[in-house]
Amino acid sequence: MVLDTAENLTQIGQWSLDCFVKEKQRIALYITLTRKNLTALESFPLSPSFTHEFKKFCTCYEKLEKEFTSGVADRKVWGQGMLQWGTALTQHVNLII
């Protein structure tokens, strides 16, 4: 489920950088799906080596999610934030697998 979330973030970031206005509905859908993944993950026992990173990610994701809802000021900066977290989650999960 963590890798699925990372893939969602990567896709959101790519859409944001490439064609934000055109893909805004898909971005909204993927944000909703990602939120569902995070809610589910919170009920699973996480590896101690991943818990800190996951909590940090959840805090940042909530800010990105709120920014989307209130209106993204700079789609490139926002999209890069999504891409960075997608990459970070993928790398971190690969280290603990």
Q: What is the pLDDT of residues 30-74, one digit of tens each?
A: 999 999 999 998 888 888 888 888 899 999 999 999 999 999 999
Backbone φ and ψ for 45, nearest 5 degrees, come out as -70, 130
Nearest to 6 by CA among 94, 96, 65: 94
The average confidence (pLDDT) of the chain is 92
Q: What phi and psi, each to the nearest 5 degrees, are found at residue 73? A: -75, -45
Q: Report the number of secondary-structure helices (H) and strands (E) in the chain.
A: 4, 0
Mean pLDDT of 13-41: 96
pTM beyond cutoff 0.75: yes
What is the rounded end-to-end Cα distance, in angstroms, of the chain?
Answer: 13
